[in-house]
Chain A
């Protein structure tokens, strides 16, 4: 059995067990909910995880002691 037949057979089986969504209509306006979320989580400056700082420090140290690697790093950027 080829891939297409396999896929067709599985599609028929899945659709027999799990019906496609018919009711996709939004029942209410979600703007009030959106406003609540905006109030709860005011926009913050993106938090930089500690391991990103650690990685930057390691990279900076490596470049300081081995400046010959700078062209290689630039090449891979």
Chain B
């Protein structure tokens, strides 16, 4: 029996094989969204836990990689929704290094704060589309939404950020 068939039938060894094959990719996707290594590890395990729970719904001739990525995206979105209610910044956002030195520290902080306050679904799309430069169709597939909806969410995220940052956008743009 094929690996995916054995997994769908509840074989733990098949699940382990799939876990080992895909954990790096799931982790890499999650860490780009949540920007924290510890949280991304937890989300990777959470993703595979959800995969294991819903194994009976998986069709063995389906695309496991795409399915895992979609579940990882949902797990990351759930995390962002919870994290938005808390005040602490993720490790990447709290840090000051690795960003453009031409943009002043205070300005960077304002941009980060505005970005962190975005509603989770807009923050996820903005992170992937604007910061990570992930193609829109990949984002649409990972989120299980249409390409048009991804564009709308990017547009709305930009509009919210512009509103929050106000004149800062044009000031920095003019520098």
Residue ranges of A at the interface with B (Cβ–Cβ < 8 Å):
3, 6-7, 9-27, 29-31, 33-34, 37-38, 41, 43
Contacts and interface: CB of A to CB of B under 8 A. Distances in A.
Contacts of B49: 34, 37-38, 41
Contacts of A18: 35, 92-93, 99, 111-112, 115, 131
Task: Describe B's contact surface by its main secondary structure.
Answer: helix
Interface residues of B, number: 45
A26 B169 contact: no
A4 to B, nearest CB: 10
Given A19-B98, A26-B24, A27-B37, A9 B111 contact: no
Contacts of A24: 27-28, 31-32
A34 B26 CA distance: 14
Interface of B: 16, 19-20, 23-24, 27-28, 31-32, 35, 37, 41, 44-45, 48-49, 52-53, 92-93, 98-100, 102-103, 107-108, 111-112, 115, 126, 130-133, 154-155, 158-159, 161-162, 165, 169, 172-173
A17 B28 CA distance: 21
15 contacts: A10-B130, A13-B165, A14-B115, A14-B131, A15-B100, A17-B100, A17-B115, A18-B112, A19-B98, A26-B23, A27-B37, A30-B44, A30-B45, A31-B23, A34-B45
B28 A13 contact: no
Nearest to A15: B131
B119 to A, nearest CB: 16
Contacts of A9: 169, 173
Task: Describe A's contact surface by its main secondary structure.
Answer: helix
B130 A15 contact: yes
A21 B35 contact: yes
Given A14-B111, A21-B35, A31 B19 contact: yes
Contact of A14 (B27, B31, B44, B130): B130
Given A17-B108, A18-B112, A34 B48 contact: yes
Given A17-B99, A20-B133, 8 more contacts: A13-B172, A16-B100, A17-B108, A17-B111, A18-B99, A19-B99, A24-B32, A34-B19
A36 to B, nearest CB: 9
Nearest to B130: A11
Contact of B52 (A10, A15, A43): A43
